[in-house]
Structure 1
């Protein structure tokens, strides 16, 4: 299992954005990350300064989204859909994207469901419940 550190993740996004801006070749994962970064111009300055990115601390009290967590969630959801894990997530996300007429806002709704599943897992001390996660995405897609 790949378990990157916080600094590894931040370096990945900063390096990807730099390479994208300079027209350098990107790996498939970097290409996907660059597409999501492009959807978030509010994060471009955070990604432009790797040293500051490595030192940054994001707390709830700051009232600011952690751009690295946010972009990582986009990548996680994209990966879940690509392998349809949990089974049915691809269809649920596609339906939600069709209802919202755009994949990007659909991903943000899925992030809410993913975050809720992870929070419940942490709170209860139980493993994440993929069925509850999938059900939450499906509810959003069908209402």
Structure 2
């Protein structure tokens, strides 16, 4: 399993954004990241300077979303949907996107469900429940 460090994740997003802004070729994963970054202009300043990004702290008290966590979750859900893992996630996210009229908004709702399920799994000391995760997304889609 690939488990990048916080620094590697932050460098990846900053470099993908810099390459996209400069019109340089992107790897497929960088292109996916850049597509999500474009949809989040509120994060552009956070990604503009890698040294600042590496030093930044995103605390609950600040009331700011960690852009690197948020973008990582977009990439995770994009990957889940592309390989339909857990099985049924593709249809659930597509149904939610149709109901909301936006894949982006569907991702944000799926992120909430994913976060809730990870928290519940960690709190209970149990494995992640993929079926319950998909069911939460289906419920949001009205199914």
TM range, normalised to the smaller chain? over 0.9
Which whole-Å CA distance do the structure 2 matches of 1:54 and 1:118 have between them? 25
Q: Distance in 2 between matches of 1:95 and 1:137?
A: 9
Structure 1 unaligned spans of 5+ = none
How do residues 70-81 of structure 1 correspond to structure 2 at under 5 angstroms? 70-81=70-81
1:60-99 superposed matches below 5 A: 60-99=60-99
Shift of 1:105: 0.6
CA offsets 1:18-72 (integer angstroms, 9 cap, x no match): 0000000000000000000000000000000100111111111110000000000
Aligned length: 143
- The equivalent residue for 1:15 is 15
The whole-number CA distance in structure 2 between the counterparts of 1:44 and 1:118 is 28
TM-score normalized with structure 2 length: 0.98
User: 1:106: how far off?
Assistant: 0.7
Could you say which residue in structure 2 is the equivalent of 1:50?
50
Q: Deviation of residue 102 (structure 1)?
A: 0.9
Tell me the CA shift for residue 121 of structure 1: 1.2
Q: Deviations over 1:48-101 (max 9, x none)?
A: 010011111111111000000000000000000000001000000001001111
User: Structure 2 stretches of 5 or more lacking a match?
Assistant: none
CA RMSD of aligned residues (A): 0.8
- Deviation above 3 Å: which 4+ runs of structure 1? none
